[in-house]
Amino acid sequence: MTADELRTALDELSLTQSSAARRWNVDIRTIQRWCSGERAIPSTVEKLVALELGLDPVRIAELNEERRRRGSAA
């Protein structure tokens, strides 16, 4: 998951960075770092976001892996 994808997901979930931090029990600065791209977003957060959006986290992980492979092959 990219920072852009996380920001889009937060919008879709109607969550501010502050409300996401409270909901997911992480420091607000952690959310800010994820959203700015300063820090990688853990796979557990990707799965949580997928579940909250009603998406299949396994399929999301597969798509992310495919994207990573294509990116490294370029």
Q: Helices (DSSP H) in the chain: which residue ranges?
A: 3-12, 17-24, 28-36, 43-52, 57-73
pLDDT for res 73: 64
pLDDT score of 40 more than 80? yes
Are 56 and 50 in contact, with CB atoms under 8 Å apart?
A: yes
First to last CA, the chain: 19
- CA 71, CA 10: separation in Å to the nearest integer? 25
Q: Which domain holds residue 63?
A: 3-73
Q: Residue 41: pLDDT above 90? A: yes
Residue 16 belongs to a domain with what CATH number?
1.10.260
Arithmetic mean of pLDDT, 8-32 = 94
**Domain total for the chain?**
1
